[in-house]
Amino acid sequence: MTPSKGKIAFCFPGQLQDRPILEGNHPLKGDPHLEELLKRASRQTQFNFHNFSFEGEKKNEEEKKDFSLKLQISTYLLSMAHFYRLRATGWVPDIFAEHSMGIYAALAASEAIDFEEGLFITEGIGRLLKKEGELHPGGMASIIGLPLEEIQKICRDLNGFHLFIANYNGSMHFVLSGEEEGIGKAISLALSRKAISASKLPFRTALHSPSLYALREKIIEILQEIKIQPLKVPILNHWTIKPLRREEVKDFLSREIGRPVYWVRCVEKLLQEGFTQFIEVGQEAILTKLIRWIDREAEAFSAGDLLANKGLVSR
Amino acid sequence: MVVPNDQLIEDVKQLIIQRLKLMDMTPEMIETDAPLFGEGLGLDSIDALELVLGLEKEFGVIIPDAEVGKKVFQSVRTIAQYVCESRGAT
C-alpha cells in the first residue's frame, strides 16, 4: 500500500463471532500493549482474558454461559490493541466509523472515554444483553445474496415472529434479528429463495431490534457516572450521517442496541467525502470485505493484515 | 466427469486472487484441491458472494443458490469443473 493523499477512516468492527486465536506469527502475539490491556481487563472484569484469548483453554459450563460476553470484551480489547499499534506506527485517522458494538472502542480511541470506562461500558451492556437473552431468547441471522426487497418480504411473510433488519451491511448482505424460532424459519426461507448463504449468528438476543429498546433506561444507569470528554477524532453517526456530537454520545449508546446499523450509508457518506483508505481496527477483515463490496476500488485493509505485513505499516 | 485444463485452473485461481484482493498470494500458493472455506484458504460467506459475481462476470456461469454454491466452492478444481460443465465443454 502506498501513502495516500486522501483521507483515512478507521473502522471499528462489532462483536467477533468466535474466540480470537492469535497463534504462530500473529503480529499481536507478545505485543506489550496487548499484554497490558489483557492484564487490566482481567483485573477489572474478573475474567481471565489471557487464557481466553490466546491459549487452548477448554471452556467449562460456567464459562460457556459467559461466552458471548467474553467475545464482546475481547472485541473491545483487540480493537484497542490494534488501534495503539496503528497509532504507534504512524497512522493518523481523519475520522472513525463503527459497526454495532464497535462504538465502545471507537469512543475510547477518540478519548471521549478512557480505556477502563470503555471496558466498564462493554461489560455492563454485555451483562444486560446476557440477562435479556435468558429472559427473552432471541437470535440473529446473516443473509447473503438477496436484495433488500427480498429481505423485507421475508420479514413480512414471517410477520408473527417480529423479525427486523438489524444490519444494512451491503446491497446483498443483511442481518435479521428477532424471535429465536422466527430466525430459523427466516434462514430456511432465505435459502429456498436462492440466498447464497443464510446462517445463524452466535447471539442469544435480538440485537439492534426494537425489542431491546426497553433496555435504554438501564444503559443510561450504567453511563451515569461517566463523563464524556471532547472527541479527539470525530465518529460518524450512522443514523444522522454526521459526526457524533459529544452531548449525543450517551443518548446514542442507550439507543443503538435497539436500532439498526446502517453500515452502507456510513461508507457511502465517507466515499462522497473523499475518504480513500479504510482501515479496520480489529483482528479480522469483516468490515474490510463489506467496504470492498460497496466500492471495489476503495482501499480497505484490516489492521491485522497491515501489521502482519511490516512493509505496509510505516507511513 | 469433465476434466478442466491447466489454463482454466490457473484462471480460476487468478479470479479468486483478484476478486478477493488476496494481494499477497500467487496462483502457485493456492492448492487446486484444498478446501476454500474454513480450514483451507479460510474464505467466508462474503467471499462466496464475491466469487459468485466474479464467476458470472468473468466466465458467464451462474451459481443459482446456496446448495449449488456449496458443491461448487469446495475447491479450485470443483469451480473449474462447474465452469466446464456450464459451458458444455470438456
pLDDT score at A2: 47
Burial label for A154, CB within 10 Å (0-12, 13-18, 19+), is: buried
- Torsion angle of the four alpha carbons A73, A76, A81, A83, in this order, in degrees rounded to the nearest 10: 180
Burial class, A248, CB count within 10 angstroms (exposed 0-12 / middle 13-18 / buried 19+): middle
A139-167 average pLDDT score: 96
Query: Is residue A123 one of the residues assigned to a domain?
Result: yes
Q: Is A3 within a domain?
A: no
Co-location of A100 and A23 in the same domain: yes
Q: Which residues lie across from A96 on neighbouring strands?
A: A10, A235
Report the residue of chain A nearest B23, measured CA to CA. A1
Which residues in chain B have their CB less than 8 angstroms from residue A292's CB? 21, 50
Whether residue A49 is contained in a domain is answered as: yes
Mean pLDDT, residues A275-293 taken together: 92
CB-CB contact of A237 with A244 (8 Å)? yes
- Determine, for residues B64 and A194 on separate chains, whether the beta-carbon distance falls below 8 Å: yes
Strand partners of residue A242:
A237
Residue A110 pLDDT grade (very low, low, confident, very high; cuts 50, 70, 90)? very high
| A88 and A230 housed in the same domain | yes
Q: What are the distances in angstroms from CA A65 to CA A68, A74, A272?
A: 8, 15, 43
Q: Are residues A128 and A117 in the same domain?
A: yes
Report the distance separating Cα B4 and Cα B21, nearest Å.
24
Residues with Cβ within 8 Å of B65's Cβ and at least 6 positions away in sequence, in order, are: A191, A194, A195, A196
Counted domains in chain A: 2
The answer to whether A201 faces chain B, any CB pair under 8 Å, is no
A16 and A55 part of one domain: yes
pLDDT of residue A305: 81
Q: Which helix (H) or strand (E) holds A96?
A: strand A95-98
Q: Which of A196, A197, A264 to mutate to test the interface with B (most CBs of B within 10 A)?
A: A196
Shortest Cα–Cα distance, B68 to chain A (Å): 9
Interface contact A199, partner B, CB < 8 A: yes
Q: Is residue A1 part of a domain?
A: no
Q: Which three cell numbers stand for residue A124?
A: 455492563
A176 shares its domain with A261 = no
Chain B contact set for A173 (CB, 8 A)? 46, 49
Q: Could you tell me which residues are beta bridge partners of residue A138?
A: A179
Give the pLDDT score at A155. Answer: 97
A188 touches chain B (CB under 8 A): no
Q: pLDDT by residue (tens digit) across A246-256?
A: 999 999 999 99
For the domain made up of B6-25+35-87, the CATH class stated in words is: mainly alpha
Do both A216 and A68 map to the same domain?
Answer: yes
Asked if residue A218 and residue A96 are part of one domain, the reply reads: yes
Residues A96/A236, Cβ–Cβ less than 8 Å: yes
The set of cell numbers assigned to B83 is: 465452469
How far A210 CA sits from the closest chain B CA (Å)? 27
- The reported pLDDT for the residue numbered A311 is 45
Q: B45 vs A286: CB contact, 8 Å cut-off?
A: no
Given B24, B49, B69, which is nearest A309 (Cβ)?
Answer: B24
Is pLDDT at A52 greater than 70 in this prediction? Answer: no
C-alpha cell at A78: 483487540
Better-predicted residue by pLDDT, A308 or A53: A308
CA angle centred on A260, ends A15 and A71, rounded to 5°: 10
Q: Do A15 and A60 share a domain, yes or no? A: yes
A145: nearest CA partner in chain B = B49
CB-closest option in B24, B44, B66 to A195: B66
Convert the pLDDT of each residue in A155-211 to its tens digit.
999 998 999 999 999 999 999 999 999 999 999 999 999 999 999 998 889 999 999
CATH of the domain at A166: 3.30.70.250
At residue A307 the predicted structure's pLDDT band, cuts being 50, 70 and 90, is confident
Greater confidence (A2 vs A243) lies with A243
Helix (H, G, I), strand (E, B) or coil at A1: coil
Rounded-to-integer distance, Cα B43 and Cα B37, Å: 5
The residue assigned the cell 459451458 is B87
Q: Do A23 and A97 fall into the same domain?
A: yes
Distance (Å, whole) CA B48 – CA A26: 25
Q: Is A82 exposed, middle or buried (0-12, 13-18, 19+ CB in 10 A)?
A: buried
Residue B45 in this model has a pLDDT that exceeds 80: yes
Closest CA to A266 of A239, A297, A289: A239
Residue ending a domain, among A162, A177, A201, is A201
Domain residue limits at A169: 138-201
Question: Cα(A206)–Cα(A138) distance, rounded to whole angstroms?
Answer: 5
- pLDDT tens column, B51-75: 999 999 999 999 988 889 989 999 9
Last residue of a domain, one of A201, A221, A236: A201
Residues A125 and A23 in one domain: yes
Q: Is A194 inside any structural domain?
A: yes
Query: Residue A153 pLDDT more than 60?
Result: yes
Fill in the amino acid letter for B50.
E
Q: Choosing among A173, A197, A310, which should be mutated to test the B contact, i.e. which has the most B CBs within 10 A?
A: A197
Smallest CA-to-CA distance from A138 within A83, A185, A82, A178 is with A178
pLDDT band (50, 70, 90) for residue A61: low
Q: What is the mean pLDDT of residues A52-74?
A: 67
A196 and A62 both lie in a single domain: no
Instruction: Name the grid cell of A198.
Output: 443464510
Nearest-by-CA chain B residue for A311: B24
Q: Which residues contact A46 (CB under 8 A, 6 or more apart)?
A: none
CA-based nearest residue to B8, from B63, B59, B75, B67: B59
pLDDT of the residue at A197: 92
Mean pLDDT of A132-149: 94
Instruction: Tell if the CB–CB gap between B46 and A195 is shorter than 8 Å.
Output: no
Closest chain B CA to residue A187: B66
Check whether A7 has a pLDDT greater than 50.
Answer: yes
Q: Please check whether residues A111 and A237 belong to one and the same domain.
A: yes
- Write the Ramachandran bin of A90: left for phi over 0, alpha for psi from -120 to 50, otherwise beta: left
Tell me which of A177, A201, A225 is where a domain ends.
Answer: A201
HSE toward the beta carbon, residue A90, CA cutoff 13 A:
6
Q: Crossing angle of helices A216-223/A249-256, nearest 10°?
A: 140
